[in-house]
Amino acid sequence: MTDQIQKQNAPYAVAALVLGICSIVFGCMIVGLVCGIVGIVLAKKGTEAYNAAPDQYAGDGMLKAGKITSIIGIILSALGIIYWVIWVAILGAYAGFLTSLM
């Protein structure tokens, strides 16, 4: 019987991936932006720890996936914020137009 040593995931890998997925799910809100930023920070810390001792960990695939999903979530959040700013500006201009008609 052979003993197989199962290596653990890289530090912060699961947290970065979960936050990256949450940033996509909540992409049109500020919550998605915060989750994405925290996910990128954790992925960076985990990558640094992985690079310091790569033989101790199973791999950095989850860290890369967490970073990518966090970036996508940040982009979606930024687009959502821009959308809402434009929408509020249009409504404000329309309200001003209606007020000037009265």
Give the model confidence (pLDDT) of 77-98 as tens digits. Answer: 999 999 999 999 999 888 877 7
**Average pLDDT of every residue of the chain:** 89
Which pLDDT score, from 0 to 100, does residue 83 have?
92
Q: How confident is the model at residue 4 (pLDDT cuts 50, 70, 90)?
A: low
Q: How many CB atoms lie within 10 A of CB 37?
A: 16
Query: How many whole angstroms from its chain centre is CA 28?
Result: 12
Q: How confident is the model at residue 29 (pLDDT cuts 50, 70, 90)?
A: confident
